[in-house]
């Protein structure tokens, strides 16, 4: 006997929080909020001068008793201690959040010290964690580069996926006269494009659906790292312009990453004048660059503000991991009232208690302080 439905069922709308950490991350997020005031975002830093200069309300000052309102001075340990000391404020921000997007520049003290701690807290809170970080320019020196790479390994422990933005790829020899401020602004612009695109995908019902489930599948299975690129076209030939931009994009190693991709999410947004032929051109030409057995998902959305324009976003995975077991967590993220057919023991970490200020035990990029059944997503039957 079929079950009758009365009225509309309650749909859980995924909530995304953008969190900028350290001076670079905080400034990047403030620039995003200036362009998109309804973006749910927070900026975190030890330096009160940086936070006071931001034109946004939701900021968190950490480490007041450690750095006394100054920056961490490039000291990663001070950055870590500062965030651990004020971790309760971070936990409050993560209540009822489905997707946390971390934004930071690596190599400094606060960002490099705090981001690994925040990703751990977010994972304990049950949020999906996407970390978007910029890597230093070569001229910043070997020490800063090494700090960034070490931090990257620690972030991987608790992030579902990491998008690396290699600052060095954003400039070339023809940019020798480019002002330093504009060089760093390019990195912020890439972050902004990525976050706005992801936000669009989550907040709109498309002509062809691409939702949080697709993003979740991609991030949970991309084996740690994925790559992002976006492109825009306008007027006649906009579809061809978008494809050409993506297949030669610096952040996709001039298109070579498409050729070795194992998973890809493609999101298209256009005005109500968007034609089927244009969608077909973009998707067909991109698929010509992709391996035959690639996991692919795409979505198409229309927005009146995109009249005459076409925008595309791609998330590309170079390596793919199969889940050890079917993840009930994914279904729960979309339907908060769902109940599994077979009961499972819901065992979760509750924090490190009196050991909260100690360094995690890292081996092969895994935090051994987190129980094995949680690290490997193993379900324990009742």
- CA within 13 Å, CB half, 324: 9
Quote the pLDDT of residue 194: 80
Of the pLDDT bands very low, low, confident and very high (cuts 50, 70, 90), residue 214 is: low
Higher pLDDT, 48 or 381: 48
CATH superfamily of 222-317: Tubulin/FtsZ, C-terminal domain (3.30.1330.20)
pLDDT of 181 > 50? The answer is yes
Quote the pLDDT of residue 225: 75
DSSP 8-state assignment for residue 376: T
Higher pLDDT, 370 or 55: 55
Is 10 annotated in a binding site? The answer is no
Q: Which range, 123-132, 176-185, 358-367, has the best average confidence (pLDDT)?
A: 123-132
Average pLDDT in the 145-153 region? 91
For residue 190, give the nearest of 217, 173, 169, 218 by alpha carbon.
Answer: 169
Quote the pLDDT of residue 281: 95
Is 22 annotated in a binding site? The answer is no
pLDDT in tens, 219-247: 666 666 778 888 999 998 999 999 999 99
Quote the pLDDT of residue 278: 95
The CATH class for the domain spanning 16-170+182-201 reads alpha beta
What average pLDDT does the structure give for the chain? 79
Of the pLDDT bands very low, low, confident and very high (cuts 50, 70, 90), residue 7 is: low
Q: Which residue has the tokens 């200036």?
A: 34
Average pLDDT in the 323-331 region? 41
**Domain limits, the chain:** 16-170+182-201, 222-317, 339-381
φ/ψ (deg, to 5) at 21: -120, 135
Of the pLDDT bands very low, low, confident and very high (cuts 50, 70, 90), residue 369 is: low
pLDDT of 211 > 60? The answer is no
Quote the pLDDT of residue 345: 37
Is 168 annotated in a binding site? The answer is no
Least confident of 89-98, 213-222, 270-279: 213-222
Q: Does the model's pTM come out above 0.75?
A: no
pLDDT of 205 > 60? The answer is no
Burial degree of 281 (CB within 10 A; 0-12, 13-18, 19+): middle
Contacts with 329 (C-beta within 8 Å, 6 or more apart), sequence order? 126, 377
Higher pLDDT, 254 or 170: 254
Beta bridge partners of 233: 310
pLDDT of 266 > 50? The answer is yes
| Pair 120, 155: CB distance under 8 Å | no
State how far the Cα of 265 lies from the Cα of 222, in Å rounded to an integer: 11
Is 110 annotated in a binding site? The answer is yes
């Amino acid at each position: 006997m079929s079950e009758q439905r009365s009225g509309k069922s309650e749909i859980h709308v995924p909530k995304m929080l953008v969190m900028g950490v350290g001076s670079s991350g905080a400034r990047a997020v403030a620039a995003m909020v200036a362009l998109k005031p309804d973006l749910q975002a927070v900026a975190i830093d030890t330096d009160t001068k940086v936070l006071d200069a931001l034109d946004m309300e939701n900021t968190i000052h950490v480490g007041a008793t450690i750095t006394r309102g100054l920056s961490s001075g490039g000291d990663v340990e001070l950055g870590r201690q500062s965030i651990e000391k004020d971790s309760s404020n971070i936990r409050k921000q993560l209540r009822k959040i489905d997707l946390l997007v971390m934004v930071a520049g690596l190599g400094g003290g606060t960002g490099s010290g705090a981001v690994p701690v925040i990703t751990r807290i977010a994972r304990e809170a049950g949020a999906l964690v996407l970390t978007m970080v910029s890597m230093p320019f070569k001229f910043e020196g070997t020490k800063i580069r090494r700090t960034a790479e070490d931090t990257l390994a620690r972030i991987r422990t608790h992030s579902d996926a990491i998008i690396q933005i290699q600052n060095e790829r954003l400039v070339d020899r023809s940019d020798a006269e480019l002002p330093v401020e504009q060089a760093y602004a390019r990195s912020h612009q890439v972050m902004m494009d990525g976050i706005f695109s992801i936000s669009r995908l989550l907040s709109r019902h498309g002509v062809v659906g691409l939702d949080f489930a697709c993003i979740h599948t991609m991030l949970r299975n991309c084996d740690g790292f994925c790559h992002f690129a976006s492109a825009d076209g306008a007027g006649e030939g906009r579809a061809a312009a978008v494809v050409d931009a993506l297949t030669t994009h610096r952040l996709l190693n001039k298109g070579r990453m498409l050729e070795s991709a194992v998973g890809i999410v493609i999101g298209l947004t256009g005005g109500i004048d968007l034609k089927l032929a244009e969608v077909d051109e973009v998707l067909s030409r991109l698929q010509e660059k992709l391996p035959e057995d690639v996991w692919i998902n795409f979505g198409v959305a229309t927005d009146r503000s995109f009249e005459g324009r076409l925008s595309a976003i791609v998330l590309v995975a170079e390596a793919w991991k199969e889940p050890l077991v079917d993840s009930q967590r994914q279904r729960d993220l979309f339907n908060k009232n769902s109940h599994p057919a077979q009961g499972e023991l819901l065992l979760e970490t509750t924090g490190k208690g009196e050991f909260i200020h100690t360094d995690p035990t890292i081996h092969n990029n895994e935090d051994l302080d987190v129980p094995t059944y949680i690290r490997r997503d193993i379900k324990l039957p009742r």
